[in-house]
Amino acid sequence: MQLGFLVDLHLCMGCKGCEIACKVENEVPLSTWRLRVKYVDVGTFPETKRTFTPLRCNHCENAPCERICPVSALHYIDNGIVNIDKERCIGCAGCVMACPYGAIYIDPQTNTADKCTYCAHRIASSMMPACVVACPVEANIFGDLDDATSNISKYIQQNQSNIQVRKPEKGTNPHHYYVNGGNVALNPLASFRPEGHDLFGKITSNMPIGGH
């Protein structure tokens, strides 16, 4: 079994339902996110459009976080998920530095690394991840990549020319795919990040980073 995720970016409307569901399900502390939706605006007014990209751990086949973790706190489980044992983590932040997707953070409450686990605890009880359940347009598709009859496998087969992963040049072989994603949505260097330009005002951080 190899579990994987696929997001159809044509369907995603940036409602952030997945983000909130993830926060509630996994009790993710303030200022930290296991899953977040990035907004990128393209074009010149009035010819503008906004893209929405849900970003979470890619559960890579060749995961740099698993390799760099000195105590195997980050480890593979049988269904292909890169899971984390917070009781074992020493908080060296090597995984945060290694992940090319910025998917790992230091939990300010436990002082350990944390990230999306594809809701491994729910999957163990035969339930779907919280973000999949919450999505109103079924943009999040989750399932077994090794099973040709699963929804995700069928979706990949039907959209073969339009499947992308983030940063394929890193050689991590992510098990998280995007359909209808452009360079702007998936490449962080393809867009500007002006200071003080966040929607919903200034986002503060209380993460214990940098000289904690």
Would you give the DSSP letter of residue 203?
P
Using the minimum distance from each CB to other proteins, give the nearer residue, 65 or 152. 65
Q: Looking at 55, 81, 141, 179, which residue binds other proteins (CB under 8 A)? A: 55
Binding segment (CB under 8 A) for other proteins, from list 31-39, 127-135, 147-155, 157-165 = 31-39
Q: Looking at 70, 136, 137, 138, which residue binds other proteins (CB under 8 A)? A: 70
45 belongs to the binding site for other proteins (CB under 8 A): yes
The residues pairing with 7 across neighbouring beta strands, listed in sequence order, are 140, 178
Strands (E), 59-169: 74-76, 82-84, 105-107, 112-114, 140-144, 163-164
Using the minimum distance from each CB to other proteins, give the nearer residue, 19 or 153. 19
Using the minimum distance from each CB to other proteins, give the nearer residue, 161 or 197. 197
Nearest Cα neighbor of 113 from 139, 88, 147, 148 is 88
Q: How many residues bind other proteins (CB under 8 A)?
A: 63
Nearest Cα neighbor of 120 from 34, 14, 6 is 34
Distances (CA, A) of 1 to 72, 113, 145, 147, 153: 21, 26, 7, 8, 12
| 142/99 Cα distance (integer angstroms) | 22
Euclidean distance between the first and the last CA atom of the chain, given in angstroms as a whole number: 40
Binding mask 75-114 for other proteins (x = CB under 8 A): -------------xxxxxxx-xxxxxxx--xx----xx--
At its nearest, how many Å lie between other proteins and the CB of residue 73? Answer: 8
Would you give the DSSP letter of residue 204?
P
At its nearest, how many Å lie between other proteins and the CB of residue 128? Answer: 24
Please state whether 89 falls in left (phi above 0), alpha (psi between -120 and 50) or beta: beta
At its nearest, how many Å lie between other proteins and the CB of residue 37? Answer: 8
At its nearest, how many Å lie between other proteins and the CB of residue 110? Answer: 8
Binding mask 191-210 for other proteins (x = CB under 8 A): xxxx--xxxx--x-x-xxxx
The footprint of other proteins (CB under 8 A) covers: 33, 36-45, 47-48, 50-51, 55, 64, 67-72, 88-94, 96-102, 105-106, 111-112, 170, 172, 184, 188-194, 197-200, 203, 205, 207-212
